[in-house]
Structure 1
Amino acid sequence: MTEAARQKMVERVRGLLRMAEDPSVTDAESQAFTAKAAELMTRHAIAEAEARAERGEEPDAISRMDYTVAGVGGHGKARVKALADIAAAYGCQSAVRGNNSENTERTIILVGTVSALEALRMLMPSISMQMEASAKFMSSAHVSDIRELRNYTRSELETERKRYYRSFVRAYGQAVAERIREFRARLQEMATHDGESGVTEGSGQNGSVRGAELVLRDDVNRVNEEFHKQFPQLRKHRPERTHSAAGYRAGYRRGRQAELGLETPVTSGRASTLAEGE
């Protein structure tokens, strides 16, 4: 892909994301715009990987990106967990700075290939917007439902709303990340099938897919190596103790249904990791 073609693709993606974030569009329209943007970015990364492999060039460079996460509502840790899961599905590693329980901003430090970080830089705001909108709507509906069951105090209802919201966000990120991984796994399955059929790397379209898949697999190893160089003694954060089974289940289902444009429908045939009773 030439630089002019790449810039044209980037501008198209930005235009789609601007439409997705327009408050005048419906939720379905917003998801559709984000879906198309995600598809374009993913296809671009694969095309670039296969082109480099075919030309015998060096793989995509490893870089670093800082991404600010809001702590509004005390849900910062849940947001960090959700976005870190999504970044990992794109083959990135993450560390976090300032991830305490306060309503303050914190920073996710992402290490990944340049193309993966570029995709995340553009896509994460729109995915976050949809996640937050769903969490807000569903947590409000949940509180309205339980208010009818018995006389909860205002404090009890607010505590339950926060628990539900945080669990919803964490599960939403997990579900979206699963679907991204499924898409990448299908590429590996295509490469395996091509190899069994005797298709060699670089021999036509199927061979190109196989070459790109091998490059993407190598990218993960290079990212891991660079991440451990930059953060050799990373301290793990304690997970949040608050949990709402209802919020987690609702968030997971919404994440599985979110439009991502990665040809990963809810009925994709793969088993989900949402255990019974969650």
Structure 2
Amino acid sequence: MATNTNIADRVRKLLDKAEDAAVTPEEAQTYAAKAAELIAKHNLDQATLRHREGKRPEPIKLLQFEVSGQGWHGKARASLVYTVAEAHGCSVCTMGNKMNGNARWVLIMGPAATLKALELLLPSILLQAESQGMAAARAHMAERKGMFDTPANANIERRVFFRSYLPAYGKGVAEKITASREAMAEKVKGKPGELVLVTDAERTKAAFDKKFPELGFSREDSHNVAGAEAGRRDGRNADTGQTKVGKASRAAVTS
């Protein structure tokens, strides 16, 4: 079985290829997706080895992922993070998730190795979503130039488009992640890895329910169909493993 160091080297090489300006977007996505799959498979292999050797499974932890409220788009960003983390088999909730310009937290519970992977992937996915979302919003507004009676109404349209784009982008990415995890689960069906996946899911849910016994629901934001459609389309083609990212503040603590 490959060591952590070997896996890290292989992932780093794949990400270097994904980040090479000389490759096409499609090639970059292929390299990055392979890196993400490699991480997931390695984590499952390590957990299965612990199971076979009679060792305790890795701890269930809580990742507190800070999301910026800049531009009053924090709820949309949090929704993206929530959806992607949930697709990784984690249990998720948010704290301070109000319609304002303040930061808020997405609280993600899952196996330690999964959270480590999310610390790498989430900032990258957010950065990609924001960059592509702004480009999509500009194109959307260019198509509708002259259709608004005031600049204020045009600005509302642009902002709602962008806020609709981000959560939908997350859903598109989540579809890719879910498909990959389902394929991985199918490969280990009837093997020790199947029990590991089931056990991790059960342990995660139990720890989450204990930590957060009572959760409420926040009001849904205004929705723009065009923004949602563009976001989901681009999310399905997202690069899920680049590391040229901004530094999002986050911390993992034992549950």
Per-residue CA deviations over 1:209-238 (Å, capped at 9, x if unaligned) read x32122012111110100111111222222
Is 1:248 the counterpart of 2:246 in the alignment? no
Task: Determine the structure 1 residue equivalent to 2:82.
Answer: 84
Residues 153 and 12 of structure 1: CA distance in aligned 2, closer, same or farther (over 3 Å): farther
Instruction: Compare relative contact order (CA 8 Å, sep 6+) and give the higher one, 1 or 2.
Output: 2
Structure 1 residues 32, 179: closer, same or farther in 2, change over 3 A? Answer: closer
Compare CA radii of gyration and give the structure with the larger one.
1
| C-alpha contact 1:17 1:126 (8 A) present in aligned 2 | no
How well do the aligned residues superpose, as a CA RMSD in angstroms? 2.5
Question: Amino acid of the residue matched to residue 138 of structure 1?
Answer: A
- The alpha carbon displacement at 1:153 in A equals 2.1
Residue identity in the other structure for 2:223: H
User: Does residue 1:54 correspond to 2:52, yes or no?
Assistant: yes
Decide whether the 8 Å contact of 1:34 with 1:123 is kept in 2.
Answer: no
The number of aligned residues is 241
**Which segments of 5 or more consecutive residues in structure 2 lack a partner in the other structure?**
242-255
Aligned partner of 2:192 in structure 1 is 211
Partner of 1:154: 151
Aligned to 1:207: none
- 1:15, 1:102 → 2: CA distance? 40
1: distance between equivalents of 2:60 and 2:148? 55
Structure 1: 5+ residue stretches without partners? 196-209, 262-278
Matched residue, 1:166: 163
1:78-227 mapped onto 2 (5 Å cutoff):
78-148=76-146, 150-192=147-189, 195=190, 210-227=191-208
1:228 aligns with 2:225: no
List, as ranges, runs of 4+ consecutive aligned residues in structure 1 with deviation greater than 6 Å: 21-26
**Partners in 2 of 1:249 and 1:59 — Cα distance?**
40
Question: Could you report, residue by residue, the CA deviation over 1:95-118 in whole angstroms, capped at 9, with x for unpaired residues?
Answer: 222211111211111111001101
> SS of the residue aligned with 1:51?
helix
Q: What do residues 240-263 of structure 1 show as CA deviations (whole Å, max 9, x unaligned)?
A: 2x10011111111111122448xx
Calculate percent identity across the aligned residue pairs. 37
Q: TM-score, normalised by structure 1?
A: 0.77
Q: Deviations over 1:130-182 (max 9, x none)?
A: 1111111101100111115x354211111111111111111111121122112
Shift of 1:28: 5.0
Which residue of 1 is the match for residue 245 of structure 2?
A: none
CA contact (8 A) 2:37 2:180 kept: no
